[in-house]
């Protein structure tokens, strides 16, 4: 089955996968892209990032898959499911945790050049995420302007763990650069608990507990960005909440809207209901999608969070909790809604061709493999 390269009438609609995790490998190493001035520092261990101490005891990568060769992933993942585009979430999303700020910024640049020269060069279906060191906002802004010029770079990545809530103005130069370059900001987890506890009241014991709590950081950052007025002040900014769950968005919006009524005098920059900023400027990726026992609840939840415009499909390939595009949604999901989640919402956000032009596009991409 290779729907992306077929033009038959039975071709299933194309898919955009907003979250795959390429790894460096012997064939595609990152070292050549480390700026020369930081190579000695890296060799001396000054580029290490703190760990959070919560390892998945069964491994994070699926035992039947790997993601360290763009050509193999093109066949094993993109071709297999008819994925027209896949957004890379590179290892560089953790660079902001590096204690040596210059090394952190150097690593961000390296992961960007690595993406451009390996994965993005190998196949036009891959789309890149600009890595930045949020502890060095001005340099991060410059890097967004530099690496963001590449036509396959579609967003700017930051990690869940951070020194400060993302509504703080220390990060505003990053948001200005995103808005200037028309690149959404993408928040991805993976490092919560590296700098401080991953909850406000202590450290989880197990990976199970830690992983279940990932939406906690996402809620904190989103509430911060909305109430501090990031979306009001940067109306062109778009935020992608990637791999942090989706169902919590309903109660977070309801709670913000309710409090806004009584407390809006303290946030005079908010001219509309908090949820209006969210539904207009925030998008979420599906994986890991919550799976209530009653599939009806899933569909109700989709309506509550306006999934027809906010939700974008993702697999998290090749990780352990990978969501299979053929199985992840309830059977009763409306076909038009499914298409918007599987393709249209991401295509509109990232400026990709509409679904009906995709077969040709994807075929073009495949000839490069």
Which of the residues 213 through 232 are near its own copies (CB under 8 A)?
Answer: 213, 215-217, 219-221, 223-224, 227-228
Q: State the first-to-last Cα distance of the chain, in angstroms, to the nearest integer.
A: 17
Q: Which of 39, 146, 150, 168 binds its own copies (CB under 8 A)?
A: 168
CB of residue 309 vs its own copies: minimum separation in angstroms?
A: 16
Binding test (CB under 8 A) with its own copies, winner from 15, 301, 312, 314: 301
Q: Specify whether the CB–CB gap between 123 and 365 falls below 8 A.
A: yes
Residue among 239, 242, 256, 347 that touches its own copies (CB under 8 A): 256
Q: Which of 2, 307, 73, 365 is nearest to 357 (CA)?
A: 365
What is the C-alpha separation between 205 and 213, in angstroms, rounded? Answer: 12
Q: Confirm if 54 and 207 have CB atoms less than 8 A apart.
A: yes
269 touches its own copies by CB under 8 A: no
258 lies in the site for its own copies, by CB under 8 A:
yes
Q: What is the size of the binding site for its own copies (CB under 8 A)?
A: 73
- 297: alpha, beta or left? (left if phi > 0; alpha if psi -120 to 50): alpha
Cβ closer to its own copies: 155 or 287? Answer: 287
The token duo for 337 is 């809604």
d(CA 96, CA 251): 30
- 209 binds its own copies per the rule CB under 8 A: yes
Among 290, 324, 334, 357, binds its own copies (CB under 8 A): 290
Task: Identify which of residues 113 and 161 has a Cβ nearer to its own copies in the complex.
Answer: 161
Going by the DSSP 8-state scheme, the letter that residue 175 receives in this structure is H
The smaller minimum CB distance to its own copies, of residues 119 and 260, is found at 260
* Binds its own copies (CB under 8 A): choice among 1, 9, 293, 335: 293
At closest approach, how far in Å is the CB of 108 from its own copies? 19
| Window 121-160: residues binding its own copies (CB under 8 A) | 160
* Residue 271 binds to its own copies (criterion: CB under 8 A): no
Q: Per CB under 8 A, does 268 bind its own copies?
A: no
Report in angstroms how near the CB of residue 259 gets to its own copies at its nearest: 5
3-class secondary structure, 53? coil
Tell me the C-alpha to C-alpha distance, in Å, between residue 119 and each of 25, 90, 113, 292, 318. 12, 10, 10, 36, 15
Provide the minimum distance between the beta carbon of 345 and its own copies in the complex, in angstroms, as a whole number.
20
Sign of the torsion formed by the C-alpha atoms of 159, 161, 167 and 168: negative
Instruction: Kindly state whether residue 189 participates in binding its own copies, applying the rule CB under 8 A.
Output: no
Half-sphere exposure of 201 (CA within 13 A, CB side): 2
Question: Looking at 2-10, 23-31, 113-121, 161-169, which segment touches its own copies (CB under 8 A)?
Answer: 161-169
- Taking the complex as a whole, how short is the minimal distance between the CB of residue 335 and its own copies, in angstroms? 22
CA 79 from centroid of its chain's CA atoms: 22
Is 202 near its own copies (CB under 8 A)?
Answer: yes
């Amino acid at each position: 089955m290779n729907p992306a390269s077929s033009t038959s009438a039975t071709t299933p609609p194309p898919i955009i996968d907003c979250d795959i995790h390429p790894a460096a490998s012997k064939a595609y190493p990152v070292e050549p892209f480390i700026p020369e001035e930081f190579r000695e520092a890296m060799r001396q261990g000054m580029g290490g990032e703190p760990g959070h101490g919560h390892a998945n005891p069964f491994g994070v990568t699926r035992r039947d898959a790997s993601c360290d060769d763009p050509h193999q992933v093109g066949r094993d993942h993109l071709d297999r499911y008819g994925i027209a585009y896949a957004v890379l979430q590179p290892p560089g999303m953790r660079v902001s945790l590096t204690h040596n700020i210059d090394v952190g910024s150097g690593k961000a640049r390296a992961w960007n050049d690595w993406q451009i020269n390996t994965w993005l060069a190998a196949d036009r279906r891959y789309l890149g995420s600009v890595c930045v060191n949020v502890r060095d906002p001005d340099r991060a802004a410059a890097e967004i302007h530099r690496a963001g010029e590449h036509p396959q770079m579609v967003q700017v990545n930051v990690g869940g763990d951070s020194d400060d809530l993302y509504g703080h103005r220390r990060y505003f130069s990053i948001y200005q650069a995103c808005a200037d370059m028309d690149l959404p900001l993408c928040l991805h987890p993976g490092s919560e608990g590296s700098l401080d506890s991953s909850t406000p009241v202590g450290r989880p014991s197990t990976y199970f507990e830690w992983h279940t709590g990932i939406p906690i950081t996402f809620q904190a950052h989103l509430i911060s960005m909305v109430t501090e007025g990031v979306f009001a002040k940067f109306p062109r900014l778009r935020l992608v909440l990637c791999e942090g769950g989706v169902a919590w968005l309903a109660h977070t919006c309801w709670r913000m809207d309710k409090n806004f009524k009584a407390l809006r005098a303290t946030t005079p920059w908010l001219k509309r209901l908090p949820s209006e900023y969210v539904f207009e400027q925030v998008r979420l990726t599906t994986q890991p999608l919550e799976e209530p026992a009653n599939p009806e609840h899933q569909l109700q939840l989709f309506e509550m969070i306006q999934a027809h415009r906010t939700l974008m499909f993702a697999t998290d390939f090749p990780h352990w909790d990978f969501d299979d595009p053929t199985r992840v949604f309830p059977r009763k999901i409306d076909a038009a809604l499914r298409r918007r989640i599987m393709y249209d919402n991401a295509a509109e956000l990232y400026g990709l061709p509409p679904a009906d032009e995709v077969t040709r596009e994807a075929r073009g991409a495949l000839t490069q493999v």
